[in-house]
Amino acid sequence: MKDLMRSPVVKMMVARLLIGLGTIAVISFVIYGVIELLPGDIAREVLKSQATDESVRAFNERLGLDRPFLERYFEWLGNALHGDLGRSLISDVPVSELLAQRVKNSAFLAVLAAVLAVPLALLLGILSATFRNSVFDRATGITTLACVSLPEFALGYLMILFLAVKTGLFPSLSVIDPGAPLLERIWQTVLPALTLTLIVQAHMSRMTRSSLVALFQRPYIEMAELKGLRRRKVVWRHALPNAMGPIAVVITLNMAYLLTGIVVIEAVFAYPGLGQLMVDAVARRDIPLVQAASLIFATFYVSLNTLADVIGIVTNPRLLYARK
């Protein structure tokens, strides 16, 4: 056990984990503090026409808004660590209950998009590198560049226009029934999943292509080709295994974007996920719900970025040692 703990890889993983936890703690403080800086009186915004001096005072006392900021922050953080995210100001329902189904819906959308995006990106990247400077490579490059350049909402509206309004192939809005069969859920989620797929696969396919093209210049690849090996065998047996390190890092980073960048897509397609719930909560000044959703998004994003950092160092052991 002691020998294992002395391993540079284990030390690095523990260090990255501690950095990730520290980052989440800082982000939680920022989330709680930024909400405090919102203009206007939260109590009067929520109570609206019922906002008398007595009702505002009672509202602030019930939520503890009359107490010091740091005291309220540490109480909120401690409760969050125990799974208590407070109660909604609008519906007076525990925030955890409101989040439960929405988190499942967002996870379903993210998984479906990842299942479509990762194989597509790897295939396009491998084919573009194998047939670089060909018509296919140029067409793929232009298409992926267009997908990266377009804002998410613009790409979403284009998908609705051409695949829902013009052709009627898919529903324009995602109406998800919690008790619906799996195929029905997939059918309702196709358009937002395709939109996310087009966005994230562009980065992954370009990185796959760049990594493979760089490896094709290595001497051992040139020697394999001089020996008469087919290009397909050279790619799959010699080049791709050595390129999987940086490709895995890019895939992990894009999965982090996928989990946190769905807010706009869910709003465009009225998808009942965590992102749509957060947008509604911001519009209604439901502060506990906004804080909880933001904390969940931040936790997922930091966790996947930490995982990408670990994968990058493990696949390139030279990063474990500082240069002298």
pLDDT in tens, 169-202: 888 888 787 777 888 888 889 999 999 988 888 8
How far is CA 28 from its chain centroid? 18
Q: For 80-125, what is each residue's pLDDT tens digit?
A: 888 888 888 878 888 988 898 888 888 899 889 989 988 998 889 8
CA distance 309 to 303: 10
Residue 322 has pLDDT above 60, yes or no: no
Mean pLDDT across the stretch 46-50?
A: 69
With beta carbons less than 8 A apart as the criterion, state whether 247 and 211 touch: yes
Average pLDDT on 193-222 reads 83
Higher pLDDT, 180 or 320: 180
Going by the DSSP 8-state scheme, the letter that residue 281 receives in this structure is H
pLDDT band at 23 (very low <50, low <70, confident <90, very high): very high
In the predicted model, is pLDDT for residue 147 greater than 50? yes
Average pLDDT, rounded, for the chain: 82
The single residue listed with the structure tokens 């018509």 is 135
Check: CB of residue 187 under 8 Å from CB of residue 171: yes
Instruction: Kindly report the pTM of this predicted structure.
Output: 0.82
What tens digit of pLDDT does each residue of 226-262 get? 777 777 777 777 677 777 777 888 888 788 877 777 8
Which one is predicted more confidently, 211 or 99? Answer: 99
Q: Give the start-to-end residue ranges of the domains of the chain.
A: 2-81, 102-320
- Which residues does 67 contact at the CB level (< 8 Å), separation at least 6? none
Query: Distance between CA 90 and CA 289 in Å, rounded?
Result: 10
User: What's the pLDDT at 3?
Assistant: 57
DSSP 40-82: S-HHHHHHGGG--HHHHHHHHHHHTTTS-HHHHHHHHHHHHHT
Average pLDDT of the segment spanning 2-12: 67
pLDDT confidence of residue 27: 92
Q: What's the average model confidence in pLDDT over 190-217? A: 85
- Model confidence at 28, in pLDDT bands (50, 70, 90)? very high
Query: pLDDT tens, 50-91?
Result: 677 777 787 777 777 778 888 888 988 898 888 888 888 878
Confidence band of 26 (pLDDT split at 50, 70, 90): very high
Work out the pLDDT band at 324, boundaries 50, 70, 90. very low
The angle subtended at Cα 232 by Cα 228 and Cα 237, nearest 5°, is 90
Q: What is the fold of 102-320?
A: MetI-like fold (1.10.3720)
How buried is residue 201: exposed, middle or buried, by Cβ count under 10 Å (0-12/13-18/19+)?
buried
